[in-house]
Structure formats: structure tokens, C-alpha cells
Amino acid sequence: MELLARARELEAQGRSIVHMEVGEPDFTTPEPIIEAGRQALADGRTHYTPAMGLPVLRQAIARHYQQRYGVDIDPGRVVVTPGASGALQLLMSVLINPGDGVLLADPGYPCNRNFVHLVGGEPQSLEVGADTGYQLSAALIEQNWQDNTRAVMVASPSNPTGTMLSREELLDIYQVVQQHAGFLIVDEIYQGLIYGAEGHTALEIDDDLFVINSFSKYYGMTGWRLGWLVAPSDKIDLIDRLAQNIFLAAPTPAQHAALAAFSDQTIEILEQRREIFRQRRDYLKPALEDLGFRISVKPHGAFYLYADCSQHTNDSAAFAHDLLEQMGVAVTPGMDFGENAPERYLRFAYTTDMQQLQEGVRRIRQFVAG
């Protein structure tokens, strides 16, 4: 965020900046969704919805799981939230008591640790590397389960690495968590943004786990603040009561707009965008490797490459700072994602167009050439 602010500041001073730090799609929300939002406002849909969300939207989300993944979900298990962030906050509040531990991958999405802290829990970060595809594994979870551990959180595809857990890996993780009578939380916010791999959902495994998702990334709706979670039936009442207290309900116009997110017309637009992201990944990964950055596990999803930059520096934060100041290229240093050798990593986001990516690569080439 600091880097983004500095990049914007330099831009305001007239500098040309290539943005490879931004964690949201560069595309605006698809027109059918915007139109549905406009219509909702024109119709005066400006009041609260039920805390769990509009019933028609909960049904649409359940139908989406049936159509895309062949999984039957009771719409009563779908909770509409203000972004995945709202879902994460809600879940932590429901599942974690002060002193409870939550196992997390390092590197991982930085806010997760803070959500655990927020409810007085203890983030139990585990270092992950190329050997497990930068993901937690059943073995790692088994070895590191502690007396106070209550939950495990994974993200597939992951931020910052873009790597995925296979069905089998997820099933193994689920079984270990079950053996310990813990909770498994699977963040599927980058679901849909998958290239050359088969998509799946943890909901295929069992009802007894928690899935987080959002309209932010695949659906291109970051600013509308809308996400959802699917929870086991026996937790819904508690989640409902907490949601009523914490945020009352997700934004009403956004919920009406999202009803258009699953239409054929919208999906066609989103699939075209997915193809563009795939082309960008397929350009950027070899281009960075060519410059000496190492990406040892091919990322199949999201819009990030997490690259080992140790050939060029032993201080990725200083590298990112200098790259921005000298060449006008903004990237995110590893320290944003944890304490697992952050000085060796940079996250490159391909949330900007091909021309900009090529320009970024040209500038980085010049920078590393000294």
C-alpha cells in the first residue's frame, strides 16, 4: 500500500509508472452488472437486505455451484458479505476464541494474520516453499498442529503465488483437520481465474468446511464490496446473529448488480478477460525468467507471479523501492506476505495491459543491467 501510494504520488508529478503491484483486475465491472446496479438504484433499492443477503442472490450463488462444479448447496448455507474481507472477519469471529491458533501459509495473504489477531487468536504461520507448491500440505499441518490450534486456512489459487491445491491435496488436508476436530477454511477468491488447469471447489469434498469467495476478482467488482461464504448448516444461525451485529448486511445495490454476474452474457465477457490474463501470464513468466528471476512452480491461477530475485539482490524491499524511484516500475516486495525469506521475493501482478507489461520488462531489463 505504501508503494502504491508512492507510485501514485510519482504519477501525479508526471512520471510514467508501470503498475505491477495492483491486486485487482484492470478491467472495469462488466456492463451487464453495471446496468443491473443502475437499475437497482433507479428502482430505489437502497434499503437494508436481510443480514445473510438477498434470498435470490443466495439462490443464484448456490445454482452457480451446481452449474459450474456439479455440487448441490442449500442456498441457506450461503452468506452474502461485504467482500471476502467481510466473510473472513465474520468467520474468525465465529470460530476463533482468544488464544486459539490458526495455521496459515507463509507467504500468504497478509490480512489473514491480522484477522486472527483481531479476535485475539494466534496466527500460526508455516513456511511453505516450492516442494509443496507454496501451499500448506496435510503433512505440514499434521507436524505443526498444536494444542491450541483450532483452524487451518488455505487459499487456492493463492495470493501471492498463484498456485493451486489439487482436489487430492485438499482432501488430504481436510482429513487431517477433521482428525483434529478443527475447522478448515478455504479461500477461493481467485476461483475462475485459472489458466490451463481444471477448476474445482472444496465444497465437492464435504459440507463440513468453510468456503470463502468474492465478486471482487473474477467478476471484476472490487469496489462494490461484495463476497460470500458457504458454511456448514449448524453454524448459519450464529453467523447470522454476528453479521447482524458487525455489518447488518452487504451493500444492497451491489447485491442487485451481482444478480447479473452469472448471466451468459457476463460470463462470456469474463471468460474473454480470463483469456487475456492467461496471455499476460504466458508472456510475463518467461520474460522474467529470462531476466534471472526464478519462478519455480508454475502458477495456474490468480494474476500474480511470485519470483525469487536473489540473483539480483538480497533485499527485495530495497530493490522494489529503487526500481520504482529509478525506473518507474511498481512491484510488491516479499515482506508484505510474511516472514519466510521475504527479502528474496517480489510479487509481480499482471493486472495491466500487455503493452505496459512489455514496457515494464524493458525497464526492469535496463535496471538489472545496472
Ligand X SMILES: Cc1ncc(COP(=O)(O)O)c(C=O)c1O
Closest CB to ligand X among residues 157, 328: 157
Closest CB to ligand X among residues 221, 361: 221
Instruction: Determine which residue in the list 20, 36, 189, 288 makes contact with ligand X, applying CB under 6 A.
Output: 189
Tell me the window of 54-62, 80-88, 252-260, 341-349 that interacts with ligand X (CB under 6 A).
80-88
List the x/- string, 261-280, binding to ligand X by CB under 6 A.
--------------------
Q: Which three cell numbers stand for residue 167?
A: 482436489
List the x/- string, 8-47, binding to ligand X by CB under 6 A.
---------------x------------------------
Minimum CB distance to ligand X, residue 226 (Å) = 8
Residue 222, interface with ligand X (CB under 6 A)?
A: yes
Closest CB to ligand X among residues 227, 328: 227
Minimum CB distance to ligand X, residue 134 (Å) = 13
Minimum CB distance to ligand X, residue 109 (Å) = 4
Cα 180 to Cα 201: distance, rounded to the nearest angstrom: 22
Minimum CB distance to ligand X, residue 359 (Å) = 24
List the x/- string, 195-214, binding to ligand X by CB under 6 A.
-------------------x
In the chain, what is the straight-line distance between the N-terminal and C-terminal CA atoms, in Å?
A: 27
Question: Is the separation of the CB atoms in 29 and 221 below 8 Å?
Answer: yes
Tell me the window of 79-87, 228-236, 261-269, 334-342 that interacts with ligand X (CB under 6 A).
79-87
Neighbours of 184 (CB within 10 A): 24
Closest CB to ligand X among residues 248, 318: 248
Cα 88 to Cα 111: distance, rounded to the nearest angstrom: 9
Residue type, 251: P
Cα 57 to Cα 201: distance, rounded to the nearest angstrom: 19
Sequence-separated (6 or more) residues with CB below 8 Å from residue 2: none
Q: In terms of DSSP H, where are the helices of 13-73?
A: 31-42, 55-69
Residue 187, interface with ligand X (CB under 6 A)?
A: yes
Minimum CB distance to ligand X, residue 187 (Å) = 5
Sequence-separated (6 or more) residues with CB below 8 Å from residue 91: 185, 210, 212, 229, 231, 239
Instruction: List residues bridging with 127 in a β-sheet.
Output: 106
Instruction: Determine which residue in the list 65, 109, 210, 350 makes contact with ligand X, applying CB under 6 A.
Output: 109
Minimum CB distance to ligand X, residue 189 (Å) = 4
Residue 155, interface with ligand X (CB under 6 A)?
A: yes
Q: Write the CA distances from 166 to 61, 127, 157, 173, 213, integer angstroms.
A: 23, 19, 10, 11, 18
Sequence-separated (6 or more) residues with CB below 8 Å from residue 237: none
The percent helix, strand, coil of the chain (3-state, each to 5) is 45, 15, 40
Where along the sequence are the contacts to ligand X (CB under 6 A)?
A: 23, 83-85, 109, 155, 159, 187, 189, 214, 216, 222, 227
